[in-house]
Chains A and B, each alone.
Chain A
């Protein structure tokens, strides 16, 4: 079976959960007997397009190709350069001629890419994995209100018009129809979390189109517990991920700042591993830097990291905190933390609430509440048995290979019956 995995970015150039998940799947599939996988990632500015073709290799593997696409309508998630889709992309599809085309995203490529696949390869099965709510929500796909960053639990033209008063409700509905007319071309939709799946079903996609499949991770290198002196506390907290407002790092810093010295002590520390700060709005950058300064010795900002560094970074912490103020889907850091035996402190919403069981393998705190987070951090710092107890409750995450096998089973099932009529 030939599988083409398509992603909106290559992890060599863009670290993100979807990029990682798609690439891991690509590699996992290639290790399976009888499977030949290819990887097509989108390239864009600041990379320059070659004059003759939007296809490029960027010195990656022989089965890894890039499609330069940068004429993108963010509102409709639409690719205005359809000539590149009907040209180089179509030729690439015919050359590879996959049995399955698995989209892990279509940002930058546009939903028209699904149409082009369906048109060029009418017998191929199309699978689409959702990583966030971008089709549903115009606010970066976060389902967080534009005003005061309140969580959004329902999308409708009227509700979304409330977030974007300059966009008429009719246009928002038009966007919905446009996207659905392309999404329906997929033979199967994949969600890594029940929560995200439910959101799409609530938006109007049929539940029977969905399969829930967790992303796989590299399970080959497990970090041992951080060495501590006898009687010392498990008092190192780690934040892993992009430093953005929606990831809630500011809530975490606020919480750390609120904790009394008597609890924090001299041994506790917060390590922030994450990049992309430079691309955030100035107001957020300023606020973040002010919070770091206020936290003083309690917090350290280490900047971005590569996926392969994760075991080493995990060695430095005892706890992982996922304080996102948006719903999340299935953050990789949760699976990573489970793998390395780091109990989690997570916001009590969405994919975080679904993946981490409060009191079993982690602790929930009220989303966005620095006060509650401080309470929960105090709780784990003052309970010497908490770390061992929660670490023991962590489930074993699935590996790349497991995930690849699960996906292969899905692909095979699609050939077992007639392709769903679009």
Chain B
């Protein structure tokens, strides 16, 4: 619009004060004959091409019989902060017919001068103007932009009423900032306070008052706990502001205020508690903040009461939570509650969720202690508990609530247990022979492993120790994750009965089996085996190793082979891969697996049985234990699940199931879970009976304790994930009709096969 087209009659008005916040931002105080719209366009008259915006609040005021519409405006336009005194400013409100024109006065040199002018001109409306500026700039002020903070501070100071002082202040660890003083008017502040110091911050607060003889009525003593939503206690302020009705009140912090060290503020608050009056929520918050603080020391061992405690294992599993085992000896029931507290302020009662464990050794150890002599009536002092926890901060301690409001603390030396070896240590943390074992699995370790499985998993990286030829359409992946493996046996086996041209070979090693990786490379060189050797960046189990291998390769068809599985024929790999068809359909196939005594180890899976007792879940493999050749199948047959000890699968099948879940301790159960998910996703699953491999027990480690307990925990996890959801199984027992290879869609039993449903 040209000047010629602009209305020639401008409303009467004047900009009486202005303050520069930035080169493109100013605040204005002025009036007009007509109300200024709350927002609109703004521009300097000589820079119409640089249009800006403004926001404003206004009030009608009658002065000497004349009505004037005063306004405060926050304005952002290019160059406005650098405009010369007298520069013409055009404010065109949204929906207004005519703009307001005015000349910029000289900028007030200080925020205080502008604030003083604002209070003087607006009188009773100055607090509303202050609120407007707070809404417009409060967020920026809290970020500490000096000019804005100065403006808001000056406006607050000018627009608020002094109501008292803060005399004592100090941080309370994990809670916030404690303030104490008095206020002139008996109005309870809150629930939010504005703290003005180097920055302006607004926080929730729990406030209460108390009587003081040293201040004149109706003034009252005042305490507040400022509780930031996150992070540490706010810095000590110079002023504290709060709203009471339409009033903005101010408490100044005395220059000689007592500043309490971190541990003393809570003690001071605790001593004040009996005299405080506030709303119930505030009183509860203050009570909680006033409790004794954990100072890093074990205070249980020094109790004069017959209460003792020790921690055997304190672990934190990322994405799952804390897992703690130990014992609490409390024969006189002195402990009312036990809770775990995290440095991130998380807290959870554990005595409502823990599993108590018989610990006769604890009874025996304290039987002669004068404090406990004759008082120990049972042995169930042990405990095992899993506490879900989302955060990464694993620092924690136990808080014991004792009769009479006393508290005692037990520090926890928490260890991160996210790796494979650490998970095994967790599995070794309970005694399978004790009656509590089942409950520990069902209530503690099972949920822990299940929660860990749901947590996002970081992909493990790898480095290439030995580069082989990977031009085949298929890749054979062999995990080397145990240091006890005889790599010469593995290499010799694949050198004589390897996949040949059917697949390239990739070994994926765990750093925990670094020595095996080194010897493997030597053996591969000796036997002249063309194979790649990858070293994972972090210790991993066989499933994770398979995952690394899959991610590190591009072949459309995969062969997964346990290092304990021994091929004995030349063509096993080709036949297994052929069972996948052309690879266009997601498919998976396993061969017959035999034990060393030539009995059947795997010949298809025809169902999963769920139990109320350990092992909780049990996959039934058709013909398992039968003599080799009992009923050798010539053609591949549909089955419920393949075997991770040896299987061929399309990459699409692996991706459909989204790889392995992290819930399982043992490879076999992780594999069953994977194959059930594949099956649920419609992946064709078959058993190739004519191909025979030897699946040898990982006997070097079979006696390891964690495997026994791992079976229980895995069984629980399988039951939790699959009970009532197992896709239809194909019964391949000899007397049933042997169905030819064909897929059975999930949930749609075939008429030709027997379906064994899950409980």
Taking Cβ atoms with an 8 Å cutoff, the residues of A that contact B are 76, 78, 80, 82-83, 85-86, 112, 115-116, 119, 156-158, 168-175, 177-178, 181-182, 184, 422
Q: Are A173 and B596 in contact (CB under 8 A)?
A: yes
Q: Known contacts A168-B702, A170-B564: does B496 contact A181 (CB below 8 Å)?
A: yes
**CB atoms of A86 and B526 under 8 A apart:** yes
Report the bound CA distance from A119 to B492 in whole Å. Answer: 13
Of chain B, the residue at the smallest CB distance from A156 is B597
Whether the pair A171, B488 counts as a contact (CB closer than 8 A) is: no
Interface centre among B526, B595, B596 (most CB of A within 10 A): B596
Give the chain B neighbours of A86 by CB distance below 8 A.
525-526
User: Which residues in B have their C-beta under 8 angstroms from that of A158?
Assistant: 597
What is the CB-to-nearest-CB distance from A211 to chain B, in angstroms, rounded to a whole number? 23
* Residues of chain A within 8 A of B493, CB atoms compared: 177-178, 181
Contacts of A78 in B (CB 8 A): 488
CA A157 to CA B599, docked complex, whole Å: 12
Q: Are A169's CB and B568's CB within 8 A?
A: no
Chain A interface SS verdict (over half):
helix
Highest count of chain B CB atoms <10 Å: which of A80, A119, A181? A181
User: Knowing A112-B526, A177-B568 touch, does A171 contact B597 (C-beta < 8 A)?
Assistant: no
Main DSSP-derived SS at the B contact region:
helix
Q: B488 near A168 (CB under 8 angstroms)?
A: no
Chain B residues lying within 8 Å of A422, measured Cβ to Cβ, are 496
Nearest Cβ in chain B — how far from A75, in angstroms? 9
B696 neighbours in A (Cβ, 8 Å): 170-171, 173-174
Taken residue by residue from 301 to 342, chain B's Cβ proximity to chain A (1 for < 8 Å, 0 otherwise) reads as 000000000000000000000000000000000000000000
Closest Cβ of chain A: how far from B693's Cβ, in Å? 11
Let me know if B213 is at the binding interface, CB within 8 A.
Answer: no
Is A83 in contact with B522, judged by CB distance below 8 angstroms?
yes
A417 to B287, CA, bound (A): 98
Given pairs A171-B696, A177-B489, A177-B694, 12 additional interface contacts (CB within 8 A): A82-B523, A83-B522, A116-B526, A119-B528, A168-B697, A168-B702, A169-B597, A169-B699, A170-B699, A174-B486, A175-B489, A181-B495
CB-CB < 8 A to A115: which residues of B? 492, 495, 526-527
Q: Which of B510-563 contact A (CB under 8 A)?
A: 522-523, 525-528
Choose from B523, B694, B700 the contact partner of A173 (Cβ within 8 Å): B694
For A172, the closest partner residue in chain B by CB is: B596
**Contact yes or no, A171 B526, CB < 8 A:** no
In the complex formed, the residue of A with least CB distance to B596 is: A173
Complex CA–CA separation, A301 to B522 (angstroms): 49
CA distance A158 to B697 in the complex (A): 14
- Shortest CB-to-CB span from B489 to chain A, Å, is 5
B677 at the interface (CB under 8 A from A): no
Q: How far is the CB of A97 from chain B (nearest CB, A)?
A: 20
CB nearest neighbor in B for A170: B696
Q: How far is the CB of B254 from chain A (nearest CB, A)?
A: 79
Q: Are B488 and A169 in contact (CB under 8 A)?
A: no
Min CB gap A122→B, angstroms: 12
* Chain B residues with CB under 8 A of A116: 526
Given A168-B702, A170-B697, A178-B489, A157-B526 contact (CB < 8 Å) = no
Kindly provide the distance from the CB of B496 to the nearest chain A CB, expressed in whole angstroms.
4
**Could you tell me how many residues of chain B have their Cβ less than 8 Å away from some Cβ of chain A?**
26
Residues of A contacting B486 in the complex (Cβ-Cβ under 8 angstroms):
76, 174, 178
User: Shortest beta-carbon distance, B22 to chain A, in Å?
Assistant: 74
List the 6 closest pairs (A to B, CB-CB), nearest first. Answer: A168-B699, A173-B596, A170-B696, A82-B526, A181-B496, A157-B596
Residues of B within 8 A of A172 (CB): 596
Given the known inter-chain contacts A82-B523, A112-B526, A173-B694, please indicate yes or no for A178 contacting B492, CB distance below 8 A. yes
Which of A76, A83, A119, A173 has a CB less than 8 Å from the CB of B488? Answer: A76
The reply to whether the CB of B566 lies closer than 8 angstroms to some CB of chain A is yes
List residues of chain B with CB within 8 A of the CB of A177.
489, 493, 566, 568, 694
Nearest A residue to B594 by beta-carbon distance?
A173
Could you say which residues of chain B place their CB within 8 Å of the CB of A182? Answer: 492
Q: Which residues of B contact A181 (CB under 8 A)?
A: 492-493, 495-497
A162 to chain B, nearest CB (A): 13
Q: How long is the Cα–Cα vector from A49 to B700 in the complex, in angstroms?
A: 33
Complex Cα gap A21–B748 (Å): 71
* B697 surroundings in chain A (CB, below 8 A): 168, 170
Could you list 27 A-B pairs, sorted by A, with CB under 8 Å? A76-B489, A78-B488, A82-B526, A85-B526, A112-B488, A115-B492, A115-B526, A158-B597, A168-B697, A168-B700, A168-B702, A169-B596, A169-B699, A170-B699, A171-B700, A173-B596, A173-B694, A174-B566, A177-B489, A177-B694, A178-B488, A181-B492, A181-B495, A181-B497, A182-B492, A184-B496, A422-B496
* B497 closest partner in A (C-beta): A181
CA of A108 to CA of B689, assembled, Å: 40
A152 to chain B minimum Cβ distance, whole angstroms, is: 17
Q: How far is the CA of A182 from the CA of B697 in the complex (A)?
A: 23
For residue A112, which residues in chain B have a CB less than 8 angstroms away from its CB? Answer: 488, 526
Report the separation of the CA atoms of residues A115 and B495 in the bound assembly, to the nearest whole angstrom: 10
Cβ–Cβ < 8 Å partners of B526 in chain A:
82, 85-86, 112, 115-116
| Chain B residues whose CB sits within 8 angstroms of the CB of A175 once the complex forms | 489
Contacts of A173 in B (CB 8 A): 596, 694, 696
CA distance A112 to B527 in the complex (A): 9
CA distance A356 to B523 in the complex (A): 46
A85: B residues at CB distance < 8 A: 526
When C-beta atoms are compared, the residue in chain B nearest to A168 turns out to be: B699
CB closest chain-A residue, reference B695: A170
Chain B residues with Cβ below 8 Å from A174 are 486, 489, 566, 596, 696
Nearest residue (CB) in B for A185 is: B496
| Closest residue of A by beta carbon distance from B696 | A170
- Smallest CB separation, A240 vs chain B (Å): 39
Within 8 A of A (CB), among B452-502: 486, 488-489, 492-493, 495-497
A84 to chain B, nearest CB (A): 11
Shortest Cβ distance from residue B487 to the other chain A in the assembled complex, whole angstroms: 11
Complex alpha-carbon distance, A112 and B564, angstroms = 20
- Tell me the minimal C-beta distance from A372 to chain B in angstroms: 37
- Cβ B522 vs Cβ A82 within 8 A: yes
Query: Considering only CB atoms, which chain A residue lies closest to B699 in the complex?
Result: A168
Given the complex of chains A and B, what is the CA–CA distance between A173 and B495 in angstroms? 18
Q: What distance in Å separates the Cβ of A166 from its nearest Cβ neighbour in chain B?
A: 10
A82 and B518 CA atoms in complex are apart in Å by 13
- In the assembled complex, the Cα of A170 lies from the Cα of B492 at a distance in Å of 17
B700 contacts which chain A residues (CB < 8 A)? Answer: 168, 171
Bound: A115/B528 CA distance, A: 10
How far, in angstroms, from A156 to B597 measured CA to CA in the complex?
8
B-side contacts of A170, CB under 8 Å: 564, 595-596, 696-697, 699
Bound-state CA distance A173–B700 (Å) is 13
By a CB distance below 8 angstroms, the chain A residues around B495 are 115, 181
The distance in angstroms between the C-alpha atoms of A184 and B595, with both chains bound, is 22
Beta-carbon nearest neighbor of B595 in chain A: A170
* Docked CA distance A31–B467 (Å): 50
CA distance A177 to B567 in the complex (A): 10
By beta carbon, the residue of chain A nearest B523 is A82
Q: Which residues of B contact A171 (CB under 8 A)?
A: 696, 699-700
Q: Nearest-CB distance from A8 to chain B (Å)?
A: 19
What are the residues of chain A within 8 A of B522 when measuring CB–CB?
A: 82-83
Contacts of B564 in A (CB 8 A): 170
A422 to B566, CA, bound (A): 18
Q: How far is the CA of A399 from the CA of B492 in the complex (A)?
A: 39
| Complex CA–CA separation, A205 to B700 (angstroms) | 27
In the bound complex, residues from chain A placing their C-beta under 8 Å from that of B702 are 168
Interfacial chain A residues near B523, Cβ < 8 Å: 82
**Roughly how many angstroms separate A96 CA and B525 CA in the complex, as a whole number?**
24
Mark contacts of B695-721 with chain A using CB atoms, 8 A cut-off: 1 yes-contact digit, 0 otherwise.
011011010000000000000000000
Least Cβ distance of B600 to chain A in Å? 15
Interface flags, B276-297, vs A, CB<8A=1, else 0: 0000000000000000000000
B596 partner residues in chain A, CB cutoff 8 A = 157, 169-170, 172-174
Return the chain A residue nearest B698 by Cβ: A170
**Taking the nearest CB of chain A, how far is it from the CB of B257, in angstroms?**
75
Bound-state Cα–Cα, A83 to B488, Å: 13
